[in-house]
């Protein structure tokens, strides 16, 4: 019988079988869906302190059962584990926001070029202008998520640094290192 996760662990721990979400242009045009996906991806950041506590406890439990890497303390290993999860989530969210900004940019270009053709009736032009305005609002909201991402990331790194004071991200992941450095500024 498989072990079932109960309590807050079931709610806040990552899924054992991660769900793959297919992002399409329609995902970007549906702001509710877009925000729901970001909300799901931000769960790790929202529970960072609890996750650090749990990772540390899990490493202690593993140490009782087996010998872990002697080059790292349990705290270092817990921090490394959470760091890898954080970075993976940050990359997914950055890709999602970037993709949707590009989709909205392309949509605006197409609508503006269609409007510039001048072959539409006045009613069709007004309709297209309304669609352009709607796309611009969506574009602005999606772009604002980049700023929110910076805030969420900085808050997570601050909590992470409070708990993992001596942790330094591996130099092998340049993108993660860049995220770390920008948050510390």
The torsion of the CA quartet 133, 134, 138, 144, rounded to 10 degrees, works out to 40
In a domain, 8, yes or no: no
* 43 within some domain: yes
Asked whether residue 174 is assigned to any structural domain, the reply reads no
Tell me if 81 is assigned to some domain.
yes
- Give the chain's domain count: 1
Asked whether residue 144 is domain-assigned, the answer is yes
Q: What is the pLDDT of residue 66?
A: 54
Structural domain contains residue 160: yes
Q: For residue 177, is it within any domain?
A: no
Arithmetic mean of pLDDT over the chain: 79
Q: What is the mean pLDDT of residues 99-103?
A: 94
Q: Residue 103 above 80 pLDDT?
A: yes
How much is the average pLDDT of 122-126?
86
Q: Where are the alpha helices (DSSP H) in the chain?
A: 7-12, 25-29, 31-41, 43-46, 48-65, 74-116, 122-163, 174-184
Residue 13 resides in a domain: no
Looking at the predicted structure, is the pLDDT value of residue 4 above 60? no
> Domain range for residue 80?
33-167
């Amino acid at each position: 019988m498989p072990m079932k996760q109960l309590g807050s662990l079931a709610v806040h721990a990552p899924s054992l079988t991660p769900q793959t979400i297919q992002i399409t242009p329609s995902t970007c045009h549906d702001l509710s869906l877009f925000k729901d996906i970001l909300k799901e991806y931000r769960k790790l950041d929202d529970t960072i302190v609890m996750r650090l506590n749990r990772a540390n406890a899990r490493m202690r439990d593993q140490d009782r059962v087996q010998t872990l890497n002697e080059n790292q303390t349990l705290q270092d290993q817990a921090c490394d584990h959470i760091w890898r999860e954080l970075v993976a989530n940050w990359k997914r969210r950055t890709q999602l926001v970037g993709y949707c900004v590009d989709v909205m940019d392309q949509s605006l270009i197409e609508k503006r070029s269609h409007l510039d053709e001048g072959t539409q009736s006045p009613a069709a032009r007004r309709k297209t202008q309304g669609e352009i305005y709607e796309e611009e609002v969506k574009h602005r909201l999606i772009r604002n998520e980049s700023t929110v991402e910076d805030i969420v990331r900085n808050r997570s790194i601050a909590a992470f640094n409070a708990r993992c004071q001596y942790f330094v991200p591996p130099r092998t992941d340049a993108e993660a290192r860049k995220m770390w450095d920008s948050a510390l500024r």
